[in-house]
Amino acid sequence: MSPAPLKVALVGYGLAGKTFHAPLITATDGLELHTVVSSDAAKVRADFPEVAVVAGDLKRALANPEIDLVVIATPDSLHADQAHAALEAGKHVVIDKPFAVTLEAARAVADHARKVGRLVSVFQNRRWDSDFLTLKALIDQGHLGEIVQYESHFDRHRPTVRDRWREKPGAGVLLDLGPHLIDQALVLFGKPQAVYADVAIQKEGGVAGDYFHLLLRYPRLRVLLHASQMTQATNLRLAVHGTAGSFIKSGLDAQEDQLKAGMAPGSPAYGADQRPGVLIQLEDDEPISTAVQPLRGRYDHFYAGIREAICKGSPPPVTLEEALLVMEVIDAAQRSAAERREIDL
């Protein structure tokens, strides 16, 4: 007989909870979405009528001995406190990025997890973006040689300030999108020697940083990570240059839009990207361009990895050490932008 599924409590049913976590949890064998903590019960029940809804009371969900895993998909400022509460209740924890608002808070959660012997992982779903998986395969297969410049963009055109927590003081794109781009770079290249960051407010009336440009310095490699909400030409995603070739990819991964549209992970079209990238290599000193069909994106692999980590003791898909390194780079970037200087790691 198959073991009983792990019962999951999802905390928060906004963009992250509704679009990403709930569909991916329910699509993962061995996981059961048991409870949702949300003040909008009607919204939850419209999607999952059989799921228990606890109206904004995390303590009630944590007191349920059936709950094995707590997924925190609330505003950033709540992540650390809610993670501590879940760990104190003996639950395993997944936290939507960012890990916490500060490096100090993230380290405290990590220490707590180690003390009580429970899993904590951070939802770095962009490791399973179609474009990133394709690039990683090209690097692993040697098509690009040694990478000397890596440029990664997450640009949008949202010039009007909106009344949402992500645009309030203490938030901003460095905490919102920065973890995605930083984590991908660290997966490929490891810890940099130093970080330089420029963070700005470019929107009229804005109060949180809506632009960042990060330079991660390695001995030879330079990593450029860029996000803007004032960019109308938002198509460039990756421009990666190595000693044996370059790879250029336009367009964002399709999975977020597919999940918003209600497409289930595992559907035939799920994770497919019909926009090929371009591999450029020299032959007889002439640049030759080759279309590269993207690999399928697979956000569902994250929760399959969480299941294996809890049930079988496998390494989680995102380890504490990896999550803390992302926070270390964010902390260095914040100090760099404030002090207008490069920060050594």
Q: For residue 117, count CB atoms less than 10 angstroms from its CB and return exposed for 0-12, middle for 13-18, buried for 19 or more.
A: exposed
Residue 272, Cβ neighbours under 10 Å: how many?
A: 16
Instruction: Provide the CATH topology of domain 126-297+330-344.
Output: Dihydrodipicolinate Reductase; domain 2 (3.30.360)
Percentage of the chain beyond pLDDT 70 is 99
pTM of the model: 0.96
Instruction: Provide the CATH topology of domain 6-123.
Output: Rossmann fold (3.40.50)
The residue ranges of every structural domain in the chain are 6-123, 126-297+330-344
Instruction: Look over the chain and give the mean of its residue pLDDT values, rounded to a whole number.
Output: 96
- Residues 6+ positions from 162 with CB-CB distance below 8 Å: none
Local confidence band at 284 (pLDDT 50, 70, 90 cut-offs): confident
Mean pLDDT value across residues 145-163: 94
Whether the link from the prior residue into 169 is cis, omega within 30° of 0, is no
Tell me: pLDDT of 190 over 80: yes
Local confidence band at 164 (pLDDT 50, 70, 90 cut-offs): confident
The single-letter code of the amino acid at 141 is: Q
